[in-house]
A = this chain, B = another copy of it.
């Protein structure tokens, strides 16, 4: 009852060295069957549950766990199909390597974030007992990534990185493809709805592009690439990657007479919300308004969204493999994407009366 039972107490009770007890648990064939059995019996009697996890981690330098940095609230992440698909891919590969997954929440880095919040989040990153980590959508500049790099842990990002290994998609190219698709359909007045790392629910009509997630920035640049001179592109955010933010953004864009003919959303979740809002306002999606998404999660097919497919689960599997087997995998992989055209996009509507184009 007094002190907790340790390797040592078992050793003393069994009349052997601590090494023997350790071997009994970790390298059974290193000991004679007789001694091993006796040790295990004593351990059971004493209620010894096996070597202490933290001590073992310290001594061996291995944790048998990898971290995932999530920059949205966890409760929130569990509702994001992209995140779930990625986690699924990660988990699939990690489970095979008997590795647990540590979900590390990091306060969203907003302009107004206090030092205290960042420090607390960093603390969680520092305290995590892990062998490596993956951070999705974060760059080298993110404090969490820096902290992990300082700990000199293996790190896999899904954004361009000079220091860490990375699994990428060509966001700019993807943006270009979407842009071209819409331009080919005759659209000249576009808007882009992005998920900004801002508190959800707040409308940011004119987004400061410097604060965007790197992938958003690249997709935006791609869409711009595709636009002919004179075409218009507004950028709006309603908050994070959630239905609510999509509604907010769409409501702002569709109010008034000056609405775009096509809306490019940063994700399928946002796109579906935009489409839904449009439909509620009596617009026929794919006719009066074209909407595109990103990712091609199951929702996209269900709603009929034109979107860019990226192999999310494969990305997760690959990231996990790069973490588990640094030697046998490349440092940098670019995964393919392609445009999936469904019913949410169509020819630009004829110019509305009462609105003149220069």
- Complex Cα spacing A87 to B78, Å: 7
Contact B91 A103 (CB under 8 A): yes
- Pairwise interchain contact A75-B54, C-beta atoms closer than 8 A: no
Question: Contact at B47–A73, with CB atoms within 8 Å?
Answer: no
Task: Give chain A interface residues in 44-62, CB to chain B under 8 Å.
Answer: 47-58, 61
Instruction: Report chain B residues within 8 Å CB of A113.
Output: none
B-contacting 9-mer, from A124-132, A184-192, A285-293: A124-132
A102 at the interface (CB under 8 A from B): yes
Chain B binder among A12-20, A146-154, A220-228, A271-279? A146-154
Per-residue B-contact encoding for A89-133, CB less than 8 Å = 1, 0 else: 101101100101111110000000000000010011011111000
A344 to chain B, nearest CB (A): 20
What is the CA–CA distance of A87 and B65 in the complex, to the nearest angstrom? Answer: 19
Contact B74 A79 (CB under 8 A): no
Using CB atoms, name the residue of chain B closest to A74.
B91
Q: How far is the CA of A103 from the CA of B78 in the complex (A)?
A: 13
- Nearest residue in B to A58 (C-beta to C-beta)? B54
Most B Cβ at <10 Å: residue of A63, A95, A130: A95
**Any B CB within 8 A of the CB of A64:** yes
Which residues does chain B contribute within 8 Å of A92, judged by CB atoms? 73-75
Closest B residue, CB atoms, query A76: B88
The interface residues of chain B lying within 8 Å CB-to-CB of A50 are: 126, 150-151
Q: Is A352 an interface residue (CB 8 A)?
A: no
